[in-house]
Structure 1
Amino acid sequence: MAQILAPSVQWQMRITKNSSYLTDASSMSSKMWSSLFRKQSKKLTARSSAKYRLLAVKSEHGTINRMEDLLNLDVTPYTDKIIAEYIWIGGTGIDVRSKSRTISKPVEHPSELPKWNYDGSSTGQAPGEDSEVILYPQAIFKDPFRGGNNILVICDAYTPAGEPIPTNKRHKAAQIFSDPKVVAEVPWYGIEQEYTLLQTDVKWPLGWPVGGYPGPQGPYYCAAGADKSFGRDISDAHYKACLYAGINISGTNGEVMPGQWEFQVGPSVGIEAGDHIWCARYLLERITEQAGVVLTLDPKPIEGDWNGAGCHTNYSTKSTREEGGFEVIKKAILNLSLRHKEHISAYGEGNERRLTGKHETASINTFSWGVANRGCSIRVGRDTEKEGKGYLEDRRPASNMDPYVVTALLAETTLLWEPTLEAEALAAQKLAMKV
């Protein structure tokens, strides 16, 4: 698409009267267009205050798609330099920010990249009188938008003195995952990221009638069809972008509420799980930006009899994956029950609107677990019960949770934290009664 400047109202009327010019625009030469606009510009010379707007005209010939050609241009044969997109988490704890810089040659490891800085006062992360925040490169992914050797760089943020800023949740997570006890257990995570697509101007779910509602839930989950599936191209584009980037994406599906989707990342080990989810979220933000659709990770985007959006986190350790692992899982669940409030407080903003005990959730105030029960806080699969080993699913995290926080907290509670004997005995009694 090329953008051609034309005066607004009067010029539109003239084009309408002479619509034959537009009916076969693709066959017009660039000289014909130039001649047409020269004639019109003479008539409009005296109208220096005329308002202009952009019109788009398709053409298979000439110079129409120059911007698209430049965006797709592969510069690899002409320079060793690459573009690195530095990505970090902003002041809300859920917004992703990024900016680009040129690197002299391709790199293979974050340690080869320089630290950088940004204006923290513009992201809600530093005061104006001392606004410099330093970016530390931590993980590299291939850039599906620019292609070639260009990269996406997941960073965390520090003060100039080298202290992690308050919104840097990766730093503490890295400390937990480097603990020898945690390293020895090789924690695996499989994260199910749900999200909702909204229409741009009205902020109403994609596919829903503006100001109205579709039919009740039921036909939409994993569905096909123009009246049941809304946003599949975005989901598919995101899937391929993740595979290209090197993100360990394992699947996608349409969700229960129309206009809502899910992708899964994992199994990932330790800190890698958070890096991959944050990069996948960034890709999704960029793809919905290009599609003119709004992405929301709100855990309950539509009130009423509609499913919310979660980020279910599947978790296992070396001990739970080996023979006798089911008993280790039960001990982990016991620990999780004793720290239920700590986990809930770290599992996402607005989660109380989602965890109501309805729509495949447990109550936010009550801890529970069960086999194959999606209405529990912690679900254990039938296969895990049958084989006596495997993983557990924490169904409490909201769609807007920080994956660094959730993954690290699960490891800390189940591998590093030890309850008192009295508390352990009491919790075991309560859980036995519920089961």
Structure 2
Amino acid sequence: MTKYKLEYIWLDGYTPVPNLRGKTQIKEFETFPTLEQLPLWGFDGSSTMQAEGRSSDCVLKPVAIYPDPARTNGALVMCEVMMPDGVTPHATNKRATILDDEGTWFGFEQEYFFYQDGRPLGFPENGFPGPQGPYYTGVGFKNVGDVAREIVEEHLDLCLAAGINHEGINAEVAKGQWEFQVFGKGSKRAADEIWMARYLLERLTEKYGIDIEYHCKPLGDTDWNGSGMHCNFSTKYMREVGGKEYFEALMAAFEKNLMDHIDVYGPDNDKRLTGKHETAPWNKFSYGVADRGASIRVPHSFVNNGYKGYLEDRRPNSQGDPYQIASQVLKTIAEVPTADSASAAA
């Protein structure tokens, strides 16, 4: 029997953006444990904005498990928060109630800033560095500094070793700003892996004395880019059938549900979605082929393939909850009848 370090990870009750939490328990198993072998585990919800002191018990329910490459015999356990009965989802447990469909694929592009001493990594103590331009996909000390690439490469290795479907990294438009991409089949799987990648990044940067800033416009009303979490999505029908008529109906549904999307695409999005810096205004919907300033960017490949493939919603921001983002995308897609559904109704 081997003693395994099980890191139970969950989202707390802080608003408008929950924090990641984690605590470790030790359990013996003959081999790396399966999800079904992991027990429920209680925690003090009064310390995480999820209960009051007079009735503080909350319960963690394991929902996904990954190897923890940073620990010997370690496991990363993504959890949902449940009420004391262990069955009823807690009010802060968004994952338990979202729409999910393994046939719908999501690719999230998570942008963020490295922060140190209260400012983006590489910014001078007073004022700003040289203007944006050379930092995006940049190379060299003057563009990326002396530690950022070390962190993102180590984070990439940790994610891959944990089995997270990490698809790439790059330096972003502003100095000190970076991005990683994660792909998953199904809302829950894709969102679980984004949250786990965030956890690994935040834990990793502890040893560097650097924080991760997820605010979508941390530098305020300046000429510096904010941070998004663009959501690429496709359904089986979009990939295999599609068509211009279906696409136009889908865009009409996204326009109709504009505010439902904005409501869950991350707080303070009005500070980021201003119509500048390749963003669409938060209160207007638009789409366009290869248009980085549209709400939804339509790839050339989508049009050239007979309006089949994936689309990119550029409005979700870096603070957004991927569970809610993916679920809202699915809700809107579900409103649009397909040729298959029309045939079935007939």
TM-score (norm 2): 0.92
One-letter code aligned to 2:93: N
Stretches of structure 2 that go unaligned for 5 or more consecutive residues are: 338-346
Q: What residue number does 2:204 align with?
A: 287
Give the structure 2 partner of residue 103 of structure 1: 27
Matched, 1:306 2:236: no
- Residue type at the aligned position of 1:81: K
Following TM superposition, by how much is the alpha carbon of 1:267 offset from its aligned partner in structure 2, in angstroms? 4.1
Q: Which amino acid aligns with 1:281?
A: R
User: 1:399 aligned to 2:323?
Assistant: no
In structure 2, how many angstroms separate the alpha carbons of the residues matched to 1:348 and 1:99? 26
1:309-328 → structure 2 map (5 Å cutoff): 309-328=227-246
Of residues 55, 78, 86, the one that matches 1:154 is 78
Decide whether aligned partners of structure 1 residues 274 and 360 sit closer, same or farther in structure 2, where only a CA change above 3 A counts.
same
The alignment covers a number of residue pairs equal to 329
Distance in 2 of aligned mates of 1:268 and 1:243: 17
Q: Secondary structure at the match of 2:5?
A: strand
d(CA) in 2 for partners of 1:103, 1:241: 23
In the aligned structure 2, how far is the partner of 1:327 from the partner of 1:265? 30
Q: Secondary structure at the match of 2:150?
A: helix
Change (3 A) 1:302 1:130: same
**Which secondary structure does the structure 1 equivalent of 2:114 belong to?**
strand
1:144 aligns with 2:63: no
SS at match of 1:397: coil
Q: 2-side partners of 1:272 and 1:280: how far apart?
A: 12
For 1:169, the aligned partner's letter is: K
Q: Cα offset for 1:212?
A: 1.8
Query: What's 1:296 paired with?
Result: 213
Residue identity in the other structure for 2:7: E
Name the aligned partner's letter for residue 138 of structure 2: A
CA RMSD of aligned residues (A): 1.4
| CA contact 2:187–2:323 (8 Å) conserved in 1 | no
Alignment of 1:177-326 (within 5 A): 177=100, 182=101, 186-199=103-116, 202-230=117-145, 231-303=148-220, 304-326=222-244
In 2, the alpha carbon distance for the partners of 1:165 and 1:328 equals 38
Q: Distance in 1 between matches of 2:241 and 2:65?
A: 36
Higher relative contact order (CA 8 A, sep 6+): 2
Spell out, residue by residue over 1:308-335, the C-alpha distance to the aligned partner (whole angstroms, 9 max, x if none): 0000000000111014445433322221
Task: Give the letter for the 2:333 counterpart.
Answer: T
Q: Distance in 1 between matches of 2:118 and 2:209?
A: 12
Change (3 A) 1:99 1:312: same
2:10–2:21 CA contact under 8 A, matched in 1: yes
Q: Which has the higher helix share?
A: 1
Task: Note closer, same or farther for the CA distance 1:208–1:172 as it changes in structure 2 (3 Å cut).
Answer: same
Distance, in Å, in 2 between the alignment partners of 1:331 and 1:145 is 47
The answer to whether 1:352 aligns with 2:270 is yes
Q: What amino acid is aligned across from residue 330 of structure 2 in structure 1?
A: A
- Structure with higher Rg: it is 1
* Matching of residues 335-414 of structure 1 within 5 Å: 335-388=253-306, 389-414=308-333
Cα distance in 2 for partners of 1:376, 1:225 equals 32
Are the aligned partners of 1:326 and 1:384 in contact in 2 as well (CA < 8 Å)?
no
Q: Corresponding residue for 1:84? A: 6
Whole-angstrom CA distance in 2 between matches of 1:268 and 1:221:
29
The question of whether the paired residues in 2 share the 8 Å contact of 1:221 and 1:255 is answered with yes
Question: Which structure 1 segments of 5+ residues have no match?
Answer: 1-78, 420-435
The CA deviation at 1:418 is 5.9
What's 1:48 paired with? none
Q: CA deviation at 1:412?
A: 1.4
Letter in 1 for 2:282: I
Structure 1 counterpart of 2:65, which letter?
I
- What is the CA–CA distance in structure 1 between the aligned matches of 2:7 and 2:191, rounded to whole Å? 18
Contact (CA 8 Å) 1:107, 1:113: kept in 2 or not?
no
